[in-house]
Every structure is written in C-alpha cells, then in structure tokens.
Structure 1
Amino acid sequence: MSMTHDGAHIVQLESQTELLESLQMFTRLDSNVICVEGEKGSGKSWLAQRFLNTDKKIQTLSFLICLPSQTAEQQRSVLLGQLLSDSFCTGEETLVESLSAFRKDQDCKATIIVDDANLLAEHLLDELSQLVLASQANPLWQISVILFTEPNAIDESLLNTNPKPEFKRIAISPLSDNEATDFIDQLVIPLAHIDSEKKKQAIHHSALSVVNYPGNLLALSESHKKPVVCWVKRSLIALIIILLALGGWSWWTSYQARVQDQQTEADVIESTEIKQGDNDTLANQTSAAINTLSGAESTLSGDQVEAPQEEDTLPQAVTDKTLTVGDESDSEQKRVVVPSKVVDALLDGDSPKDAKVSSDEMTSAQASSVKNTGSSLKGDQLTLADDVLLAVPAERYTLQLAAVTKQQEAVNFIKMYNLDGKVRVYRTIRNQQSWYIVTYQDFASIKQTHEASQELPLALQKEQPWPKSMAQVHQEIERVK
C-alpha cells in the first residue's frame, strides 16, 4: 500500500497492504466490529485515510475523530449527521433508534470509522455495538464499525450490551527491516533535504535505536534536517545591521552639517562685532585730532599768521556701515529642505522619482490577486460550484457544513453565517429528491479538515461540520447529470 506524508509519495508497504485487505474483507462480508490496535506513531491514521480513499463500494462513510473535550451528544451528532445527512436528527436519540426511524425498511450499507476510539464518550461504544447487532438481524442493513485505538484500550467484556458482538482484532506490527530502509530512503531523507552519503548513513544508523514505526522514523528527519532557517536568520540580522549603519551615517552627516552651519554663523557674527569696534575707535581718534587742529588754528589766527590749508590731510569721513557676507540680507536667505522619502530613495540606490508609490496602485495590485472560486449570491439566486468541485482531485477532502432540500434554504444558510463566496454548493439526488450540499474549501488529509473545523466561528461549529472525501462529492454530483 502506498503511503503519503504531507503530499509526498512514499514506498509501497506490503505489511500495510495486508492490513488494508483485511479491513476490506471484514466490511464486505458482514456487519462487524473491527478493532485496529497500534502504538502511537504506528500509522493508524494513515491506514484510516487509505481505507477511505480506496474502498469505493461503500455507499456511506462516517468518520469520527474523538477528542477529550467532546460529549456523547456531540459525537453522536457527528455520526448521525454523516449517516443520515438527508434527515433531521437531534442527537438525543441513540444510534439504533435514529437508524430505525429513518432506514428501517430501506437499504443501508455503511462503515463507521472512529479514530482514537479510546476517547469515545461513555455508553457510545455500547450504542455502536447495538447498531452492529441490529444490522446483523436486518437483511437490508450492512453496517460495520472500525475502531482505531491503542493496544488493550478497549475491553468488550465491559460492554452493557447483551448479547455482545464479537470484536475482530487487527494488530499493527512494526515495519520490517527492508520496509524501514525503503521508508527512510524514499521519505525521511528527502524530507530532511540531505544529499551527502555520510548524513544518509547517520540516519540509517539512528534508525537502529528506534522501533520501526512510521512515526518514529519520520522523527529522524527533524533531528538531521539542514539548518536552513539559520541562513535566513543570519541574512535578516545582516540586513538589520546594514540598515542601522546607514541610518547612523545619515544622522551623523546631518548632525555635522548643522554643527558646521552654526559655527559659520557664529564666526560671521564675531567678525561683524570686531569690525564695528574698530570703526568706533577710528571715529574717536579722528574727532580728537579735529579738536586739536581747531585749537591750533585759533592760536595762529590770534597772531595774524595765515594757516596753511590742511583739509586734504584729514582722514576720510567715518561710516557706520560694516561689511556683510554675501549679497543677500539674513531675512532673504533660505535653507533648502530635502524630503525624507527622497533621502531614503537615494540611500537605497533608487531614483528620487521612484521614492513615492501611490497607495491606490498598491490597493489595486492587492485586489487583483484575489480570486473567488466559491458559490456566489445574486439576490436570492445561488451559483452552483459543480465544475469547480469536479476539478478538485478525488484524493482530497472537504468540510460539509449543511445539507438542505431547497435552494432558498442554502441561500438563507449562507446569508446567516456570512459565507458568500467562501463556500461551494452543489446539487445531488437522494431518494428521488434534490439536495443542496454546502461545502467549505478542500484539504489534503482528514487531519487538516479537523484542524480547519476548529478554526471556524463557534456559531458555525455548532452545525457539526464533518469531513467528506472529494471522491464521494464527485459521485453525488454525477447523479444529477
């Protein structure tokens, strides 16, 4: 049986193929309770998913992943929602009572798969056993229950059901040495991105110290994986250091320019004050000389002696104007301010004309990348997504949110939970009646569907969404054609 991990193809495992064939044999011959036991990491979930994908002869599949927080009513509602998707069940009645009410005189061929069955709520294991006994007594029914659990976690002797059904037990054994070697070569080493023979031999050597379960072997890829993240961290740290250095250099040059401007301005003021003081001193000296000459002129005049003309020897008139730096006054001088975005663009090596990007262009670019492939509403008209769903590979899964018999009910459901464009609706025929099935996205594994259901709004989680294989969706769509 070929096994996959996160979409990667793995080796064909003969031991897993034998387990799958045993499950198919028990479910096709008669109604049975099959208990598949295996340690943690032994591949129980892989086996369950493979059974869902390969057994196409089962008309109805019901899959339940048990959680510690679930109540019996919640687990019962999930099972009935899948077994009786075309009927209304409250979840308060037992499984036998609900099936008897809606399928008493009808053919009913189904398989119920329970993962982590050791977490089944109280009395629900009794109800599953009673359902198998009822199907064995009804010629129109064939219902089998497959319980995936840890070893010795379920004891049928403790059941309150009388008589008790026979439990068919299948144990999952570790992989053989050859299977483990192929498993490591075709999955573990590619996941670890290892290309050197020395490291490959190190993984094979590490495998000798663990039990050959798929989970234990996969864990080896984490311990030997290349430290790709370290290079990313180093690159980010180097980029941050460069940005900080550029920012510090820009601040330092700006600071030095401001200091130089202030120093130049102070030198100009000091030079102006010195020249003003020199002019005042020269004016005082000239005034004293004029007074002295005037006194001498008066003395000579009294003695009738003609004084010579000495006007040409006097100093020039004193002016109070001082020299200035440049041709413009302080009030006319202006400082040029460069926008910060242009400076950032120059530092990044871009042209200043590219420093500004329109926010409208960014918004339109982001909006153009969004594509709606879901069902859309135009008033009360609903666009079905049959072609979109048929294009999804049959190996994937989806979440069924609702199943209604009228298109208007589907429209009301989408409007109630604001799901326009987020879900895909298709039409099918059940018991000669039209049904509209509301589905949500598609996923690679059952585990991913469960995780997605936990992220839905609480109001929508109360509708008990359940995983559904795309192969079954394709079959239901083809019924209409």
Structure 2
Amino acid sequence: MSMIHDGAHMVQLESQTDILDGLQMFTRLDSNVICVEGEKGSGKSWLAQRFLNTDKKIQTLSFLICLPTQTAEQQRSVLLGQLLSDSFCTGEETLLESLSVFRKDQECKATIIVDDANLLAEQLLDELAQLVLAAQQNPLWQISVILFAKPNEIDESSLYTDPKPEFKRIAISPLTDNEATDFIDQFVIPVAHIDSDKKKQAIHSAAQSVVKYPANLLALSESHKKPVVCWVKRSLIALIIILLALGGWSWWTSYQARVQDQQTETDVIESTEIKQDDTGTLANQTSAATTSISGAESTLSEDQEDDTLPLAVTDKTLTVGDESDSEQKRVVVPSKVVDALLDGDSPKDAKVSNDEVTSAQASSVQKTNRSLKGDQLTLADDALLAVPAERYTLQLAAVTKQDEAINFIKMYDLDGQVRVYRTVRNQQSWYIVTYQDFASIKATREGAQELPLALQKEQPWPKSIAQVHQEIERAK
C-alpha cells in the first residue's frame, strides 16, 4: 500500500501491498465475502481508499461509511444509489430484490466496500450475504463484499441466512521494523516538518515502545512538530491593540476638554457673584454715586460684550466656487453637527449617517459561489469538472425537479455551501446536490460526521468525483 500526504513522498509498504493483492484476487475470481480485520489505527481506511483507486477492472464500486446514527434503511439506500445509479430505487426492498428487478438478465460485476462494518445493521449484513449467495448461482453476476472492521466484530454464525456464505478473513498485522523505519523517515518526519536530528532520533526511539501501526507512529510526531508561526493572528492582535490605544487616547483628550470647559464656566459664575456682592455694598453707602457709576458701567459692559462676542450664527449655508444653484450643490452643515464638533464629541446624527453608509455599502456587495440566484437554480457543472477525478464528495440529495432542489437547499440553509449538477437516468433529468470535495475517504467520513444531525438523516453518501464527471458528461 502507498501512503501519500502533502509534503511527503509516496511510501510503499510490502505487508500492505500483499493485502491489496489478496483483495484483488478474491474479487476477480468469484463472488465472496471478505472481512479485513485490524485494530484501531492499523490503516483500514487507507486500505479501502487504495483499493478504490487501484482496482480498475471492477465495473461498479459501492462504498459505505457506517455511522452510529444510521439505520438499516439509510445504509441500504446509500448502497443502492451507487449500485443502481441509473435506476430509481425507493430503498424499501432488499438489496437482492432490487438487483433482481433491474439486473435480472443483465451482466453485473460489482464490489461493495463497507468501512467501520462493526456499525453495519444486522439486517443489512444478512442482505449482503444473500446477495453474494445469489451471485454465486447466477453466471451473469459477480458480486463481492469487503468488510473493514475491528477483530472479532463480524461473526458469520450470527447470520439468519441459510446456507451461510464462507467469510474470507484477512488480518492487518503491525508493520515490520524495516517498514516502520521507512514509514517514519519517508512519511512521519516530512509530515511533521522535523529537521532536527535529535528529534528524529527521539521519534525512532519512541517507536520501539508502541505497536507499529501507522496511526501510532504518526502520533509520535505530535510532540515534536515544528511550531508554525501564524503571522495573520499576530497581525490582528497588534491591530486590535493599536485601535484600543487610539480609542483610549481620543476618549482621554475629549474628557480633558470637557473638564476644562466645566472649570472655566465655574470660574465665570463665581466671578459674577463676587461682582454682584461688591455692587450691593457700594449701593448702600452712596446710592447716588452708585447709580451713576452703575449706569456708566452698564453702558461700558454692553459695549465690551458686543466687541467680544463672536459673529451671529446664521442659518445660511456656504458654497464653494460659483454660487449658481443650477451648477453647484451646496454643502449643508447642520447646527447639531457644528455644536458637537465645537464640544469635541461625536454627533449622534453623524454616527447614524456613518452607519447608514456602512449598511448601504454592505448591501451592495455581491455574494459569490451561490447555488441560488433569487428563486433560480445555478448549476455548477464547470466547477465540478475542474475538481480532480481522484477526489471525493458527499451527495446530499438527488431529485427530479429544480424546485425540489431549491427547496432542499433553502430548508437546510445550504446556499453557497453546495454544488448542483444535472444528469440523466432512464431518459429523465436528475438534479444532484453535492457538498464540498475531499482528498481522502477519511476526510469524507469526517465531513459527513460534522454535518448537522437533521442533514445526516437525509442519508448523505460519499461519491467519487470521477463518477460525478461521468454523470455530467452523460447529460450533455
């Protein structure tokens, strides 16, 4: 088996290659039930992925990733959707009944691969056994079932089918010392970006104390990974600190200005009160002189106040350049804004205006990668054809009408997250809703488990991009 990772070279493991050769031999000679048993982390999913990518002689492949939340009906529908992709199956009939109807007098060569088969429904395990027994009696059929599970999780004696098919068992053993060394040097160390000889030696030493399964060896590099500097995160933190500092400085200067204005106003009031008291005392002593002096002071005070006051505020607006109303637009500055600017505060009206401008700008941004334009469905044939054929995707739904596809996308709020393409089955158009694309089966399984529970009940199943390309070309 070969293991590939971004930044790592291909690793050929002889023991895993022998298992693949055995699987190909069992599936090509006759119809069989093969159980591949291995502990957690032994590479069962890698084997399944490699078998899907290398066996080119199989006409039909059906792949099922078992999940704890799946029922027998959901698992059956996933398998039938791949085995009979050109036919419409309700999933209410058994696997054998459906194939007997649609492939009765036709040649049928298929391999069914089930990952995490220990989660397979007992009823469906019986149906798979019945399907293999029927294929052994039909010269036009050759159907094999490969079950990837933990040791002793699949027992053929628990089947209700009689007679029971013989289970071919293949055990996944730990890697040999030489294979483990090659795996660490060519896969684990490049993946972890380790360049220190001391760390490399530490990983090799730690490998002697663990069971030499691929997952266990990969876990050794977790404590020795080269730290990745996230410059984006640091830049955002620095930007936030700068904005907080600017905001604090702006608030402090505004606060100091308000305090100074309040102090000035208090001093003026106290000075006025003192002058009034002095004037009252002087009036009691010399009323006549006080009256004349007060009149003179009043006249002088009014003249001085007229000189010191600013120009009267006018409601007229200012214009720049030509004052012609027909050619120029006047810039109007409301009085509230002027008062707020003089006080050093942010005007409420200006804030509202800025919010409105921001909202208007946000509403004008056009969203991309949408599956819906209004109430119209947008097909993503070109985008899917651009995806490499060796990748995988999750099929969420298959319907015969555009309205049904639109309702499905709106129901689960999937606009912008899915890609829809059209294909033809039995001279009828079908609209297939797909979710993202993944580099491996493991990533596909993780993607299915991350979907909302309501969406998982719609029975999403993995589908190779190569098959998607074929179905798109079929509709052209």
TM-score range, shorter chain: 0.7 to 0.9
Q: Tell me the matched-pair count.
A: 437
441, 458, 466: which is aligned to 2:461? Answer: 466
In the aligned structure 2, how far is the partner of 1:21 from the partner of 1:377?
52
Q: Find the partner of 2:309 among 328, 334, 345.
A: 328
The answer on whether the counterparts of 1:425 and 1:438 sit within 8 Å (CA) in structure 2 is: yes
The 3-state SS of whatever aligns with 2:308 is: coil
- Which among 398, 402, 407 is matched to residue 411 of structure 1? 402
Give me the TM-score of the superposition, normalised by structure 2. 0.77
- Give the secondary structure class of the aligned counterpart of 2:4: strand
Cα distance between partner residues in 1 of 2:425 and 2:75:
27
| CA distance 1:7–1:468, change in 2 (3 Å) | farther
How far apart, in 2, do the equivalents of 1:142 and 1:210 lie? Answer: 41
Q: Secondary structure at the match of 1:106?
A: coil
Q: Per the alignment, do residues 277 and 93 of structure 1 end up closer, same or farther by CA in structure 2, a change over 3 Å counting?
A: closer
Residues 239/111 of structure 1: CA separation in 2 closer, same or farther (3 Å cut): same
| CA distance in 2 between partners of 1:115 and 1:102 (Å) | 26
Aligned partner of 1:440 in structure 2 is 434
Separation of aligned partners in 2, 1:94 and 1:117: 18
1:34: Cα distance to partner? Answer: 0.9
- Three-state SS of the structure 2 residue aligned to 1:417 is helix
Distance change >3 Å, CA 188–CA 357, structure 1 → 2 = farther
TM-score normalised to the size of structure 1? Answer: 0.76
- Aligned residue for 1:390? 385
- SS at structure 1 position matched to 2:205: helix
Kept after mapping to 1: 8 A contact 2:398/2:433: no
Task: Give the Cα separation in 1 of the matches to 2:152 and 2:95.
Answer: 25
Q: Distance in 1 between matches of 2:356 and 2:92?
A: 64
SS across alignment from 1:165: coil
- Range moving further from structure 2, 323-332 or 250-259: 323-332
Structure 1 residue 277, shift from structure 2 partner: 3.6
* Residue ranges of structure 1 left out of the alignment (5+ in a row): 291-314, 343-353
Q: C-alpha distance in 2, partners of 1:272/1:388?
A: 81
The match for 2:325 is: none
Partner of 1:159: 159
**Shift in Å, 1:191:** 3.7
Kindly state the Cα deviation for residue 163 of structure 1 after the two structures are TM-superposed: 2.6
Q: Gaps (5+ residues) in structure 2?
A: 314-337, 349-353
- Describe the SS at the equivalent of 2:61: strand
Q: Report the secondary structure of 2:67's partner residue.
A: coil
C-alpha separation in 1, matches of 2:167 and 2:46: 22
C-alpha root-mean-square deviation of aligned residues, in Å? 4.1
**Contact 1:60–1:83 at 8 Å: present in 2 too?**
yes
2: CA distance between counterparts of 1:384 and 1:204? 51
Alignment of 1:16-27 (within 5 A): 16-27=16-27
SS at the partner of 1:168?
Answer: strand
Distance in 2 (CA, whole Å) between partners of 1:171 and 1:475 is 35
In the other structure, the counterpart of 1:127 is 127
Residue among 421, 424, 427 paired with 1:425? 421
Deviates more, 1:329-338 or 1:59-68: 329-338
Give the deviation of 1:28 after TM superposition: 1.1
> How many angstroms apart in 2 are the aligned matches of 1:233 and 1:415?
38
User: Closer, same or farther in 2 for the Cα pair 1:478/1:157, shift >3 Å?
Assistant: same
Matched residue, 1:183: 183
Q: 1:438 to 1:239 in 2, by over 3 A?
A: closer
Q: Which of the pair has more CA radius of gyration? A: 1
- 2:225 and 2:267 map into 1 onto residues whose CA distance is 67
Contact 2:206 2:220 in 1 (8 A): yes
Contact 1:38/1:171, CA 8 A, preserved across alignment: yes
